[in-house]
Structure 1
Amino acid sequence: MPFKAPRDDPTGPDAAKEARRLRLHQRILRDFGRIALDDLEIGPLLQRAVAQAARATGVRHTKIMRYRTEQGDLLAEAGFGWRPGFVGKARFGIDAASPPGRALQTGQPVLIDDIRDHPEFRIHPVIAEHGIVSLLNVPIRFDRNIWGVLEADSEEPGHFDDLDAEFLEAMAALVAGALQRQAAVAQAEAAASEAAVRAERRGMLLRELQHRAKNNLALVAAMLAREKRTATAEQDARTAERLARLMQRVTAITLAQDRLAGAEGGGLADGTGTDLAGYLKALLGSLDLSLGGKVVFEADLESCVLPFDKAVVVGLAVNELVTNAAKHAYPEGVEGVVRVELHTDEVRAEAALTVSDDGRGIDPSAVAARRAGGGQELELLRHLARQLGGDIEQGTQERGTSVTLRFPLVV
């Protein structure tokens, strides 16, 4: 996303003001860089970072959010200027409609002059509560992975310029350096034994594969975001909706990719599989935020391990079923419950995944048409079922619908 030119003309009467800003930025970065080299715990270090970021950008609210693959969200780890209880509890989406989620997915800074009525972004309740209208997000990355996002927020539209963005990127780099140093110490301790060394070598190969895959996903997310902007500008609502669904599918795949980190991410130690229940729990956490609380999720998920590619297919099916329930079962302005159940039969070596709702149901004629082969949504689900070697069972009742995906358990 392009940044604006500086607020002031560097050759005009405000040149001295710009020079003072630059000197302040340099002084803050120098002092913080020294602190980052000390053995300060990460919590206090992050808190100092957000306080200095607020000082440098002239705002009253800043925060650092950590990406949690297990929950599929960004958790506020440090904050400046927020109400009590914000740090450690406030959660933000990782989808492209969430400003920090966009920075996480694309790996690029995201500057929003005025989020009110913005066609691309969703306003988080905490942001609205504090009267925030202008936001600037930059990713925090190390070891070629994005750890989280640093955000500055202002009640003034158009508050941020490219100098603010450059400062936040530099601050994020210093924070990433401290995080990387801490991670290196932990890795050195873990590599004390020969077995740990072998595991680390396997992990390095796996991280390299993940890095290449995530680069491709980030490129896809950026391209979809651009197409969605074009569709919105042309007032093509249906195209914009389809692109939004595609972007959520990319989010589902990215979340599975991030969990493919051996036992630490809920998968097999050799990196060949992932815990399906843990992945679906994280995916539902991401969908909960992207849907803005329109539906309440009830989950009953039995643990089972699937190969990574199979787990991704199941995740895409859940993404489609939940999105369809939110769209069709509950009209605009109506909230409801969506239940997601995963049960396994070890004797028959198969699993049954059911997504159901208590909404308005589907017209019988529409159901008949879909069963006859019509409907892109059902056709996609059938395609995903074939990839799993399973099948789809669709049930209807007077109130609500349910869809069950049955598939073999193969590791």
Structure 2
Amino acid sequence: KALEVLQNGRNRVQSMAILHKNLYAGEDLTMVSIQSYFEGLVESILNSYQKSDKDIQIHIQAKDMVMEVESVIPIGLIVNELVTNSLKHAFPKDITQKPEIRIEMTQGEEAYTLRVKDNGKGIDDEIIQKGKDESFGQRLIRSLTQKLKARIEIQNEKGTQVVVTIPKKA
């Protein structure tokens, strides 16, 4: 349990380090390519769990999307928590299909939509309901979505899908 807590903390810090690496690699120090940031973030998470793309199939779709760094920090932490939860809980050892996680970020006129979906066993309805037994990761996601003034939906069908709708700043 202590090792897991340390690993989760390390992944959170690593998500910000990857963001900084992406910033310095680009020409504009205020904007971040979402596709390359998510790719680096997921690679880091997989490495920390000693998984590879042979173990789990990852699809990231956020091509041509760039966002301001202030918005990307909480979004990256949300993605980190959701992917980590999928790796830890969604795929039992006796799973018959290849584990798969999809991360998609799209941009509408008034909002961004982040969608993280896995094809795992799904999430218990009790966990979806907010309660006093909420994990640190769940509290962090809730806090970050509030900071972004975002709306979060959790769907439990053929795996778990979390949709975060983030309003664009006025």
Q: Could you tell me how far 1:273 is from its partner in structure 2?
A: 2.1
Per the TM alignment, residue 244 of structure 1 is displaced from its structure 2 partner at its CA by: 0.6
Query: What are the residue-to-residue correspondences of 1:119-158 with 2, within 5 Å?
Result: none
Distance 1:257 1:300, change over 3 A: same
Q: What do you get for the CA RMSD once the two structures are aligned?
A: 2.1
Residue 36 of structure 2 corresponds to: 278
Q: Report deviation, 1:303.
A: 2.7
User: Could you state the TM-score of these two structures normalised by the residue count of structure 1?
Assistant: 0.37
1:258 and 2:21 correspond = yes
Alignment match, 2:72: 311
Q: Determine the structure 1 residue equivalent to 2:116.
A: 355
Aligned AA for 2:168? L
Q: Which residue of 2 aligns with 1:153?
A: none
The residue type equivalent to 1:403 in the other structure is: V
CA contact (8 A) 1:373 1:379 kept: no
Gaps of 5+ in 2: none
**Map 1:202-241 → 2, pairs under 5 A:** 238-241=1-4
Deviation of 1:360 after TM superposition, in Å, equals: 0.9
Report if the CA contact (8 A) 1:267-1:274 is conserved.
Answer: no
CA deviation digits over 1:238-292, x for unaligned, max 9? 111011110111111111112222xxx2462xx2221222211221222233331
Larger Rg: 1
Does 2:152 match 1:392?
yes
Residue pair 2:22, 2:36 contacting (<8 A) in 1 also: no
Cα deviation digits, residues 141-167 of structure 1 (max 9, x gap): xxxxxxxxxxxxxxxxxxxxxxxxxxx
| Structure 2 CA distance for partners of 1:320 and 1:279, relative to 1, 3 Å | same
| Cα separation, 1, equivalents of 2:64 and 2:168 | 12
C-alpha spacing 1:267/1:278, structure 2 compared with 1 (3 Å): farther
> 8 Å contact 1:277–1:304 — kept in the other structure?
yes
> Hey, what does 1:375 align to over in structure 2?
134
In 2: Cα distance, 1:367 partner to 1:356 partner: 15
| Residue in structure 1 matched with residue 127 of structure 2 by the alignment | 366
**Change in CA separation of 1:273 and 1:325 when aligned onto 2, cut-off 3 Å:** same
Tell me the residue number matched to 2:167.
408
| Equivalent-residue separation in structure 2 for 1:311 and 1:355 (angstroms) | 15
Partner amino acid, structure 2, of 1:281: E
Report 1 or 2 for greater relative contact order, CA contacts < 8 Å, sequence distance ≥ 6: 2
Contact 1:306 1:409 in 2 (8 A): no
What is the percent sequence identity of the aligned residues? 27
Rounded Cα–Cα distance in structure 1 between residues aligned with 2:63 and 2:145:
19
Tell me the residue number matched to 2:48. Answer: 290
- Count of residues in correspondence between the two structures: 164
In the superposition, the TM-score normalised over structure 2's length comes to: 0.85
Task: Determine the C-alpha separation between the residues in 1 that align with 2:162 and 2:143.
Answer: 15
Native 8 Å contact 2:19 2:37 kept in 1: yes
Contact kept in structure 2, 1:341 and 1:354, CA below 8 Å: yes
Instruction: After TM superposition, give the deviation of residue 393 of structure 1 in Å.
Output: 1.1
Give the AA of the match of 2:8: R
**Is the contact between residue 306 and residue 410 of structure 1 (CA under 8 Å) also seen in structure 2?**
no
SS in 1 for 2:155: strand
* Alignment-mate amino acid for residue 407 of structure 1: I
**In the alignment, structure 1 residue 338 sits paired with structure 2 residue 97:** no
Q: Which amino acid aligns with 1:254?
A: A
